[in-house]
Chain A
Amino acid sequence: MSEPRPRVGVITFPGSLDDRDAIRAVETMGGRGVPIWHADASLGDVDAVILPGGFSYGDYLRTGAIARFARVMEAVAAFADAGGPVVGVCNGFQILCEAGMLPGALIRNRSLRFVCKPVDVRVETSLSALTGGLIAGDVLRMPVKHGEGQFVSTEEELRRLEGDGLVVLRYCGPDGELDDRHNVNGSTGSIAGVRNERGNVVGLMPHPEHAVDPDVGPTGGQALFASLLSFAAAKV
Chain B
Amino acid sequence: MSRRRFEVLVSLKPGLLDPQGKAVEGALPALGWSNVTGVRVGKHIELTVDAGSDEQARAQVEEMAVRLLSNPVIETFRILAAEEANP
Chain B residues closer than 8 Å to A20, beta-carbon distance: none
Interface centre among A103, A153, A154 (most CB of B within 10 A): A154
Picked from A61, A110, A112, A154, the residue with its CB within 8 Å of the CB of B69 is: A61
Report the bound CA distance from A130 to B56 in whole Å. 45
Report the bound CA distance from A152 to B12 in whole Å. 11
Chain A residues closer than 8 Å to B16, beta-carbon distance: 107, 152
- Binary interface profile of B, 46-87, with partner A (CB < 8 Å = 1, else 0)? 000000000000000000000011010110000000000000
Say yes or no for B15: interface residue by CB 8 A criterion.
yes
Contact call B17/A112, Cβ cutoff below 8 A: no
Report the bound CA distance from A153 to B73 in whole Å. 7
Chain A residues closer than 8 Å to B73, beta-carbon distance: 97, 103-105, 153-154, 157
Chain B residues closer than 8 Å to A152, beta-carbon distance: 16-17, 74
Q: How large is the interface on B (under 10, 10 to 19, 20 to 34, 35 or more residues)?
A: 10 to 19
A45 to chain B, nearest CB (A): 31
- Binary interface profile of A, 191-232, with partner B (CB < 8 Å = 1, else 0)? 000000000000000000000000000000000000000000
A104 to chain B, nearest CB (A): 7
Q: How large is the interface on A (under 10, 10 to 19, 20 to 34, 35 or more residues)?
A: 20 to 34
Say yes or no for A155: interface residue by CB 8 A criterion.
yes
Contact call B74/A105, Cβ cutoff below 8 A: yes
Contact call B23/A98, Cβ cutoff below 8 A: no
Please provide the chain B residues from 1 to 48 with a CB less than 8 Å away from any CB of chain A in the complex. 12-13, 15-17, 19-20, 23
A26 to chain B, nearest CB (A): 30
Say yes or no for A24: interface residue by CB 8 A criterion.
no
Report the bound CA distance from A150 to B73 in whole Å. 14
Say yes or no for A109: interface residue by CB 8 A criterion.
yes
Q: List 10 A-B contacts (CB under 8 A).
A: A97-B73, A103-B73, A105-B73, A107-B19, A109-B19, A152-B17, A153-B73, A153-B74, A154-B13, A186-B17
